């Protein structure tokens, strides 16, 4: 549908603090990766939202399809033994 | 799944308040409605920069200049968030911008009024942003995920916009007689256009009922308008400004303010392109676009020459 | 003497930020509109710190805005470069880049000023200016080495503006005294570094170095270009039309 005269689209990920993981915050257009970083800084960190930025061209993001939701994620639902609350501890153990 | 079953499942998702995401199946009309509404919203942010930009170079103090610049810059950012969110529906920013320039796409008519004095900058922040926020807060719960997320971000950032406008007027209203007159004059000119921002009455609004069913729209035009009037009347009293509507009065029974008839002829005149600044606004956007073309081309050409091919193997 | 020096530093930031603010809403792409506004905001911030400090040394006890927005034209001490108009984006970038290279060198030296408050302002501003320089330099490369059209426009802008940076390195009598005292920067010593950096950028950007060695001068003495009167007419309008009011 799109006849694109725009610069490529980039997805922006920002870590709000050192040590935290990068979170998707939005997208923008830029001609190259350096410009994408600069633009991300100006567009998405005007209010001190971050200390580290990742950018990746949107076309390199691959995503699951909503139709695959069941086959991808249903199996995890039944594996409750992966969560600590599945296990009952004897009363004399306070913390684990 | 056939079209009918998909439609059914789609509406069930909406009814269950499950957000629709870009890759989900959606009715064509839902997609079109969103593209129309979201791009119009984005255009409003971008065109809305112009009337305020008119006073940036004449701001009365350095502090006010900095605040105003930051506010207009936010609007550019909000336009950008909204264009990006709309792009997830399969339209490019360039196509949207072409539609704006050709007049095919609309933007909020309120930005077709001129900013004639510094007090207008206060009035825009207080009234126009105030009205916009009513709408935007409701849209944080809209059914399309990217739109909703953009609105959440926008609302968070917008909270200072209305306050800075009110603060400008409050300062003027505490000032000299000339300054007070400037504030009242701006209020007189911006009150009705702000009321009109909520669009036609519910009964006459063409897109409303389907949009409500799809939960694109969460509150009706008239509901939002009433909320706005109720909130604003009290603030005007604090400022000591007179509302330019002789019919405005508290209705004890409804627990709301009644207000006078809206001049819909003026509204439609401006929507159709004959407001005081329609031509200037589009001409300014077109000029920025045209003047920028060689810049955008050059950056693209440079990137082609210098960016290493993907996938890059370097890890730094 | 320090007062005049502070105004001179502040005026450069102020007038350049005023020029950049004219572009708000008119940038070549939305992302660049935001970026240019950011630089304008940084420069206003820097100007404000300097003006606020200057108020402490003003015999007439004027406030920040009276200093920034009410002086007569010949009391503004900014260089001619920063008042040059936004002819097109090439002129905007070249003007910015020429100034950023200077601003970077100047603040880098000013952080060692014996005047502690001035050194503190320089330290804060330097971080911002480093980013400005990165931004404008990248754009020098993109536009210089972009298309044939962009290369020509950049060359025209460089040729138009080449006569202005020279003034940045002139020392006024006051500056000489202050520099000896370790308060001000001896800007004449920055010229070589500036030139080296700029020539390297022009070369990388595939742009030609203009031949002229002549430079325009006057701004630091209060003798400005014809553009300045128009800048001030806008910038000072409200303060002049409604004197002594609170905004």
Instruction: Locate B205 and state its tokens.
Output: 């609004």
**Cis before residue B223, ω within 30 degrees of 0?**
no
Class of domain C2-241: mainly alpha
Instruction: Report the candidate in B66, B183, B75, B171 with the shortest Cα–Cα distance to residue B120.
Output: B183
Instruction: Report the candidate in A26, A31, A30 with the shortest Cα–Cα distance to residue A44.
Output: A26
Predicted confidence at residue A93, as pLDDT, reads 82
pLDDT digits (tens, 9 = 90+) for A8-59: 999 999 999 999 999 999 999 999 999 999 999 999 998 888 999 999 999 9
Predicted confidence at residue B94, as pLDDT, reads 96
Predicted confidence at residue A2, as pLDDT, reads 42
pLDDT digits (tens, 9 = 90+) for C21-71: 999 999 999 999 999 999 999 999 999 999 999 999 999 999 999 999 999
Strands B256-258 and B249-251 come out as: antiparallel
Instruction: Report the candidate in C21, C48, C18, C49 with the shortest Cα–Cα distance to residue C36.
Output: C21
Strands A52-57 and B249-251 come out as: unpaired
Asked if B299 and C145 come within 8 Å (Cβ–Cβ), the reply is no
Q: Is any Cβ of chain A less than 8 angstroms from the Cβ of C38?
A: yes
- Checking if the pLDDT of A88 tops 90, the result is no
Asked if B77 and A43 come within 8 Å (Cβ–Cβ), the reply is yes
Q: How far apart are the first and last CA of chain A?
A: 56
- Checking if the pLDDT of B312 tops 50, the result is no
Which residue reads 């079109």 in tokens? B32
Of C31, C34, C134, the CB nearest to A30: C31
Read out DSSP for B237-278? HHHTPPPS-TT-EEETTTTEEE-----HHHHHHIIIIISTTH
- Distance from C-alpha of B273 to C-alpha of B287, rounded to nearest angstrom: 18
Interface test with chain A among B89, B159, B303, by most A beta carbons within 10 Å? B303
pLDDT more than 90, % of chain B? 88
Asked if C25 and B288 come within 8 Å (Cβ–Cβ), the reply is yes
Total length of chain B: 316
Q: Is any Cβ of chain A less than 8 angstroms from the Cβ of B294?
A: no
pLDDT digits (tens, 9 = 90+) for B97-134: 999 999 999 999 999 999 999 999 999 999 999 999 99
- B303 phi/psi in degrees, rounded to 5: -60, -40
Instruction: Report the candidate in C53, C68, C59 with the shortest Cα–Cα distance to residue C119.
Output: C53
Chains B, C: CB pairs < 8 Å: 143
- Using CB atoms and an 8 Å cut-off, which of residues 101-120 of chain C contact chain B? none
pLDDT digits (tens, 9 = 90+) for C197-242: 999 999 999 999 998 888 999 999 999 999 999 999 999 999 999 9
* Residue range A2-63, CATH number: 3.10.20.520
Which residue reads 């404000």 in tokens? C48
- Checking if the pLDDT of A74 tops 90, the result is no
pLDDT digits (tens, 9 = 90+) for B186-204: 999 999 999 999 999 988 8
Of B171, B288, B305, the CB nearest to C26: B288
Q: Is any Cβ of chain A less than 8 angstroms from the Cβ of C150?
A: no
Helix locations, chain C, DSSP H = 2-21, 30-55, 64-69, 89-110, 116-144, 148-161, 173-180, 191-204, 226-235, 237-241
Of C25, C44, C238, the CB nearest to B66: C44
Interface test with chain B among A1, A3, A4, A5, by most B beta carbons within 10 Å? A5
Interface test with chain A among B81, B90, B154, B289, by most A beta carbons within 10 Å? B81
Predicted confidence at residue B294, as pLDDT, reads 97
**Residue spans per domain, chain A:** 2-63
- Distance from C-alpha of C212 to C-alpha of C158, rounded to nearest angstrom: 11
Contact B72, C25 (CB under 8 A): yes
Asked if C34 and A34 come within 8 Å (Cβ–Cβ), the reply is no
pTM equals 0.94
- A11 phi/psi in degrees, rounded to 5: -100, 140
Q: Is any Cβ of chain A less than 8 angstroms from the Cβ of C236?
A: no
- B308 pLDDT tier (thresholds 50, 70, 90): low
Provide the angle, in degrees to the nearest 10, between the axes of the packed helices C89-110 and C148-161: 50
What's the average model confidence in pLDDT over B83-88? 97
- Checking if the pLDDT of B206 tops 80, the result is no
What's the average model confidence in pLDDT over C80-87? 98
Q: Which ipTM value was assigned to this complex? A: 0.96
Contacts of C147 in chain B (CB under 8 A): 294, 297-298, 301
- Checking if the pLDDT of A63 tops 70, the result is yes
- Distance from C-alpha of A38 to C-alpha of A71, rounded to nearest angstrom: 40
- A84 pLDDT tier (thresholds 50, 70, 90): confident
- Distance from C-alpha of B147 to C-alpha of B144, rounded to nearest angstrom: 6
Contact B300, A31 (CB under 8 A): yes
Q: Is any Cβ of chain C less than 8 angstroms from the Cβ of A15?
A: no
- Distance from C-alpha of B301 to C-alpha of A32, rounded to nearest angstrom: 10
Contact A37, A56 (CB under 8 A): no
Q: Is any Cβ of chain B less than 8 angstroms from the Cβ of A70?
A: no
pLDDT digits (tens, 9 = 90+) for B5-38: 999 999 999 999 999 999 999 999 999 999 999 9
Strand partners, A10: A28, A57
Lowest mean per-residue pLDDT among A66-75, B244-253, C159-168: A66-75
pLDDT digits (tens, 9 = 90+) for B133-178: 998 999 999 999 999 999 999 999 988 999 999 999 999 999 999 9
Asked if C31 and A31 come within 8 Å (Cβ–Cβ), the reply is no
Q: Is any Cβ of chain A less than 8 angstroms from the Cβ of B73?
A: yes
Q: How far apart are the first and last CA of chain B?
A: 47
CA distances from C230 to B61, B235, C38 (A): 18, 38, 24
Predicted confidence at residue A4, as pLDDT, reads 59
Chain C's closest residue to A27, CA to CA, is: C31
- Distance from C-alpha of C188 to C-alpha of B254, rounded to nearest angstrom: 75
Predicted confidence at residue B298, as pLDDT, reads 97
pLDDT digits (tens, 9 = 90+) for C141-174: 999 999 999 999 999 999 999 999 999 999 999 9
What's the average model confidence in pLDDT over A3-12? 85
- Distance from C-alpha of B234 to C-alpha of C146, rounded to nearest angstrom: 56
When the pLDDT of each residue in chain B is averaged and rounded to a whole number, the result is 94
Contacts of A9 in chain B (CB under 8 A): 84, 87
Distance from CA of B73 to the nearest CA of C (A): 6
């Amino acid at each position: 549908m799109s006849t694109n005269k725009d610069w490529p689209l980039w997805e922006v990920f920002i870590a709000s603090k050192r040590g935290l993981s990068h979170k998707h915050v939005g997208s923008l257009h830029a001609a190259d990766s350096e410009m994408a970083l600069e633009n991300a800084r100006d567009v998405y960190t005007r209010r001190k939202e971050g200390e580290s930025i990742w950018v990746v061209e949107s076309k390199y993001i691959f995503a699951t399809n909503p139709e695959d939701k069941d086959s991808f994620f249903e199996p995890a639902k039944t594996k409750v033994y992966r969560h600590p609350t599945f296990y009952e501890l004897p009363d004399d153990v306070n913390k684990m | 799944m056939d079209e009918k079953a998909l439609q059914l499942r789609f509406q069930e998702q909406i009814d269950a308040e499950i957000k629709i995401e870009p890759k989900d199946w959606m009715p064509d009309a839902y997609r079109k409605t969103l593209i129309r509404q979201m791009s119009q919203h984005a255009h409003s942010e971008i065109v809305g920069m112009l009337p305020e930009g008119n006073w940036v170079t004449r701001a009365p103090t350095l502090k006010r200049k900095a605040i105003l610049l930051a506010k207009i810059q936010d609007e550019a950012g909000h336009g950008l968030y909204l264009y990006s969110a709309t792009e997830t529906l399969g339209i490019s920013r360039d196509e949207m911008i072409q539609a704006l320039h050709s007049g095919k796409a609309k933007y909020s008519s309120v930005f077709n009024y001129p900013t004639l004095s510094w007090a207008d900058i206060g009035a825009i922040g207080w009234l126009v942003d105030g009205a916009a926020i009513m709408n935007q807060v409701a849209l944080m719960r809209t059914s399309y995920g990217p739109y909703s997320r953009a609105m959440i971000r926008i609302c968070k950032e917008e909270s200072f916009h209305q306050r800075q406008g009110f603060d400008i007027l409050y300062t003027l209203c505490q000032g000299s007689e000339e300054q007070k007159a400037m504030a009242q004059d701006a209020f007189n000119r911006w009150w009705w256009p702000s009321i009109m921002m909520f669009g036609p009455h519910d009964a006459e609004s063409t897109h409303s009922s389907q949009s409500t069913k799809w939960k694109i729209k969460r509150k009706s035009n008239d509901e939002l308008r009433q909320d706005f009037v109720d909130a604003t009347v009290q603030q005007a009293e604090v400022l000591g400004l007179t509302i330019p509507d002789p019919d405005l009065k508290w209705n004890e029974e409804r627990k709301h303010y009644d207000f006078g008839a809206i001049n819909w002829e003026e509204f439609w005149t401006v929507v159709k392109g004959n407001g005081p600044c329609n031509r200037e606004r589009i001409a300014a956007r077109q000029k920025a676009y045209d003047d920028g073309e060689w810049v955008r081309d050059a950056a693209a050409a440079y990137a082609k020459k210098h960016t290493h091919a993907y996938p890059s193997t370097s890890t730094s | 003497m320090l007062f005049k020096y502070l105004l001179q530093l502040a005026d450069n930031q102020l007038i350049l930020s005023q020029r950049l603010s004219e572009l708000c809403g008119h940038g070549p792409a939305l992302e660049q509109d935001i970026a240019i506004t950011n630089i304008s905001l940084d420069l206003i911030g820097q100007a404000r710190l300097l003006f606020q400090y200057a108020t402490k040394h003003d015999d007439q006890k004027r406030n920040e805005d009276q200093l920034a927005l009410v002086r007569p034209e010949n009391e503004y001490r900014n260089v001619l470069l920063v008042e040059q108009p936004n002819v097109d984006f090439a002129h905007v970038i070249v003007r910015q880049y020429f100034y950023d290279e200077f601003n970077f060198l100047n603040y880098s030296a000013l952080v060692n000023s014996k005047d502690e408050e001035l050194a503190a302002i320089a330290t804060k501003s330097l971080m911002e200016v480093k980013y400005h320089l990165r931004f404008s330099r990248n754009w020098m490369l993109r536009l210089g080495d972009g298309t044939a059209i962009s290369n020509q426009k950049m060359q025209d802008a460089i040729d138009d503006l080449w006569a202005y940076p020279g003034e940045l390195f002139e020392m006024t009598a006051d500056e000489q005294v202050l520099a000896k005292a370790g308060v001000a920067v001896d800007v004449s010593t920055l010229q070589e570094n500036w030139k080296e950096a700029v020539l390297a950028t022009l070369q990388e950007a595939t742009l030609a170095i203009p031949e002229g060695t002549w430079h325009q001068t006057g701004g630091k003495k209060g003798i400005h270009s014809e553009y300045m009167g128009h800048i001030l007419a806008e910038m000072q309008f409200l303060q002049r039309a409604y004197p002594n009011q609170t905004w």
